[in-house]
Structure 1
Amino acid sequence: MPQEVRGVVSHAVNEPVRMETIVIPDPGPGEAVVKIQACGVCHTDLHYREGGINDEFPFLLGHEAAGVVESVGDGVDEVAPGDFVILNWRAVCGQCRACTRGRPWYCFATHNASQPMTLTDGTELSPALGIGAFAEKTLVAAGQCTKVDPEASPAAAGLLGCGVMAGLGAAINTGQVGRGDSVAVIGCGGVGNAAIAGARLAGAAKIIAVDLDDRKLAKAESLGATHTVPGGGTDVVERIRELTDGFGADVVIDAVGRPETYRQAFYARDLAGTVVLVGVPTPEMKLELPLLDVFGRGGALKSSWYGDCLPSRDFPMLIDLYRQGRLDLDAFVSETIALDDVEEAFARMQRGEVLRSVVVL
């Protein structure tokens, strides 16, 4: 039978979110109902509320989540009721040209649940990133559920569902940071600081954090940055070169996603170095670079989609490292809040007061 649960819904651009009753259908073929235990408050949820993703209101917000599988539909064998899972927004298809070439982290046909969740009057909801986890329960495609060690804290584990995984993967998967490398990270919010933690995990010798906010730079140091550079009034490129013997960093990660920060990343890398763009630009942004510089500096210019992660490979491995004390996911949890407190959490996030507020149910 369909279930009614509480959830956080955005009805119109820039209007405060509202608590609503959500109707969750029984899972169909290939689907699962998950009881949410924790869900991070991500900038992407705010972008949905502001109309920055699309205009398919109303949105059921929330996507950085962990919980327990309650029920599954026909044909589901990857997870079972009772499994502790992290939700992801890129359930791979296994059949597209990326998947058949052995590169499923680039899957071009990722999918979500087929059935809609609705309000009690039948209005269909658009779940954020196909998840909609600011709710007591949600309906997803079974491939969006990745089983991990149930001893992990749900508040910490759920953050791998989006921002923290994007940053870790930008360093480890996309940037392929190696032992002894120098790394610079521009922008030290949740994603940027996760990139710093990833660079440290990979064995980088020098990790340079760049941000306008001294609080974020202090957090970056606690997560592994060896040097910090204040972004305001500083020649960021020159300072990164000074800290890398005049050469530039082996890998520079732009976790902001603006033309000016990308130019800094481009010129702050060593010859044949790598630039990774993981910050998400807006549609109107344009970039202009001398083509001769693109050719002459060599190396690689990469974009990182979801940290180029494969959830079935990366989530269990990272949770194991967390359980071993080698990856401090708890450090990303600034505060835990109730489901009713999401609107206030958006305000704290905009003021730069938190890395992540996490809703705990």
Structure 2
Amino acid sequence: MQQVKAVVAKAMGEPVSIETINVPEPGPGEAVVKIQACGVCHTDLHYREGGINDEFPFLLGHEASGIVEAVGDGVTDVEPGDFVILNWRAVCGECRACKRGEPQYCFATHNAKQKMTLEDGTELSPALGIGAFAEKTLVAAGQCTKVDPKARPAAAGLLGCGVMAGLGAAINTGGATRGRSVAVIGCGGVGVAAVAGAVLSGASPVIAVDIDPRKLDAAKNAGATHTVDSSQADPVEQIKQICAEVYPGAEGADIVVEAVGRPETWKQAFYARDLAGTVVLVGVPTPDMKLPELPLIDVFGRGGALKSSWYGDCLPSRDFPMLIDLYQRGRLDLDAFVSEEIGLDEVEQAFAKMHDGNVLRSVVVF
């Protein structure tokens, strides 16, 4: 058992606090990781606000990289000293999805079996089964993906959630590739990552939509060929017009990624796609939100696909090393997503900056 400092949300809506927590020695199939960097993701704020569940207290943080310190019995894929990115999908290898060769859709992903606790023994609920706003954390060994140790920890860790979600929504779920057009509605961290993924795939045009000029600038820096300020113009008509200029006869984008998670913007995405086009929902809605009312004939008549993208349909063991290699070769600018590096005691301020739209990612660096 080790004691380390960590960020804990004790009650719904209350500011987070720095607490001393107990981290058990790893049991079979588990690993203890010394955290080097962890991004401040909107999901952590959802946990603090009770938007995920009410299993307080939460050990926050999940978008992380670090060094494996110790492993339990039966662990063979990683060993002490390995530089890893943490993921929240340790696949089982036994479910129907795994056995049919699609482990990215594993139905039985798992986390560490042992619980980390407060000093008084109160069990903690780690965010997404990770809990990485901590000097060290306990995870299932399958949540550790070994990557090139020369990668900058603050940038590499962002693949653990938001950047992977956006890249994967465009490439894995949407099928972006050369000869196809992509529009991204909502240009926060995930949306800008979707833009970067579309550019990486060779798609063109790549159209970024938002109401915040700062976010549109970030999307443009990520390679968007066009930007649309939807507070000033109808984004559906703008997307159609841009695509028709490149591909005469097009009635929208081949792939529209909705990275906001609201019925209004999902409806825009639906009507902004070309015939037989694809809508990808990667923005996270709240439980009370419903699909907007649509004439069923429109759903039928436009063809194509309406998809949701969970974690960018990624397989960490496949995708993380590849993307780190692209980063190391200068083809994927992960550094651009790191708006600032902060200390463990600045997480609450980072939540406020997130609300104000001032950052793509604040990253806690240990």
TM-score scaled by structure 2? 0.98
Alignment map for 1:162-181 (pairs within 5 Å): 162-181=161-180
Q: Secondary structure at the match of 1:26?
A: coil
State whether structure 2 residue 300 is matched by structure 1 residue 301. no
Output the CA distance in 1 between the equivalents of 2:315 and 2:4. 30
- For 1:310, the aligned partner's letter is L
- Name the structure 1 match of 2:196: 197
Q: CA deviation digits over 1:83-114, x for unaligned, max 9?
A: 00000001100101111111110101000000
How many Å apart are 1:232 and its aligned residue? 1.3
- Name the structure 2 match of 1:56: 55
- Name the structure 2 match of 1:327: 332
Output the CA distance in 2 between the equivalents of 1:186 and 1:325. 26
Output the CA distance in 1 between the equivalents of 2:119 and 2:266. 45
Output the CA distance in 2 between the equivalents of 1:200 and 1:238. 22
Correspondence for 2:283 among 240, 255, 279: 279
How many Å apart are 1:233 and its aligned residue? 4.0
Output the CA distance in 1 between the equivalents of 2:364 and 2:296. 46
Output the CA distance in 2 between the equivalents of 1:101 and 1:69. 31
How many Å apart are 1:205 and its aligned residue? 1.6
How many Å apart are 1:180 and its aligned residue? 2.3
- Name the structure 2 match of 1:158: 157
Correspondence for 1:250 among 232, 249, 254: 254
Output the CA distance in 1 between the equivalents of 2:329 and 2:99. 34
- For 1:309, the aligned partner's letter is C
- For 2:280, the aligned partner's letter is V
State whether structure 2 residue 359 is matched by structure 1 residue 354. yes
State whether structure 2 residue 344 is matched by structure 1 residue 339. yes
State whether structure 2 residue 102 is matched by structure 1 residue 103. yes
Alignment map for 1:229-268 (pairs within 5 Å): 229-245=228-244, 247-268=251-272
Q: CA deviation digits over 1:289-332, x for unaligned, max 9?
A: 11111110001111101000000000000000000000000000
State whether structure 2 residue 309 is matched by structure 1 residue 310. no
Output the CA distance in 1 between the equivalents of 2:171 and 2:20. 40
Q: CA deviation digits over 1:272-301, x for unaligned, max 9?
A: 011100001111111121111111000111
Output the CA distance in 2 between the equivalents of 1:271 and 1:54. 39
Provide the alpha-carbon RMSD of the alignment.
Answer: 0.6
Q: CA deviation digits over 1:127-147, x for unaligned, max 9?
A: 000000000000000000000
Output the CA distance in 2 between the equivalents of 1:355 and 1:174. 23
Q: CA deviation digits over 1:214-267, x for unaligned, max 9?
A: 000001000010110012142110111111115200100000111110100000
- Name the structure 2 match of 1:45: 44
Q: CA deviation digits over 1:157-206, x for unaligned, max 9?
A: 00000000000000110001011211100000000000000000000120
- Name the structure 2 match of 1:183: 182
Output the CA distance in 1 between the equivalents of 2:83 and 2:296. 49
TM-score scaled by structure 1? 0.99
Output the CA distance in 1 between the equivalents of 2:216 and 2:150. 31
Q: Secondary structure at the match of 2:122?
A: coil
Output the CA distance in 1 between the equivalents of 2:22 and 2:99. 37
Unpaired stretches in structure 2, ≥5 consecutive residues: 245-249
Q: Secondary structure at the match of 2:5?
A: strand
**Pairs aligned (count):** 360
Q: Secondary structure at the match of 1:283?
A: coil
- For 2:167, the aligned partner's letter is L
Output the CA distance in 2 between the equivalents of 1:228 and 1:172. 20
- For 1:61, the aligned partner's letter is L
- For 1:259, the aligned partner's letter is P
Identical amino acids, percent of aligned pairs: 78
Q: CA deviation digits over 1:49-104, x for unaligned, max 9?
A: 00000000000000000000000000000100000000000110010111111111
Output the CA distance in 2 between the equivalents of 1:247 and 1:296. 13
Output the CA distance in 2 between the equivalents of 1:123 and 1:231. 47
Q: After the TM superposition, which of the residue ranges 311-320 and 282-291 deviates more from structure 2?
A: 282-291
Output the CA distance in 1 between the equivalents of 2:40 and 2:3. 23
Unpaired stretches in structure 1, ≥5 consecutive residues: none
- For 1:360, the aligned partner's letter is V
Q: Secondary structure at the match of 1:244?
A: helix
State whether structure 2 residue 137 is matched by structure 1 residue 138. yes
Shift >2 Å, 4+ stretches: none
